Amino acid sequence: TTSFQISLITPTASPASIGAVGDSCTQDFIIVPGGGQTAGATTNYDRFCGSLLVHTAGSTGQTIKAKKMPFQVGVNFDSTELDEDNPAGTEWSKGFYLYYTQTAC
């Protein structure tokens, strides 16, 4: 199982593991303002989607860091879920759960 699977997944029997950020996330995504590889970097993004949570588009899950205060997480689901009959009853946008910690800045 996976703990993050939101949109951007090609509906096949074995979908590829891929994560995307920013403007690549147009349907379902979570929002972590200023999220990225390091807190406060200029290359950070707000939107994250795919079958992996990543700070840089790719195929390996990554930790997201943010420095914006107050810390917030937003969710955008647009009701255009992709369901596939093969395998029967497969939901391609399954949702997510997050584990987070706060550290002193």
Across the strands, what pairs with 90? 84
Q: Model's pTM, two decimal places?
A: 0.80
> What whole-number distance in Å separates Cα of residue 79 and Cα of residue 3?
20
pLDDT-based confidence at residue 87 (cuts at 50, 70, 90): low
Q: Contact, 61 vs 95, CB < 8 A?
A: no
Per residue in 43-76, pLDDT tens?
Answer: 889 999 988 888 888 888 888 888 888 888 999 8
In the structure encoding, which two tokens stand for residue 16, read together? 């590829």
Q: Which pLDDT belongs to residue 22?
A: 92
pLDDT-based confidence at residue 42 (cuts at 50, 70, 90): confident
Across the strands, what pairs with 4? 96
> What whole-number distance in Å separates Cα of residue 95 and Cα of residue 58?
19
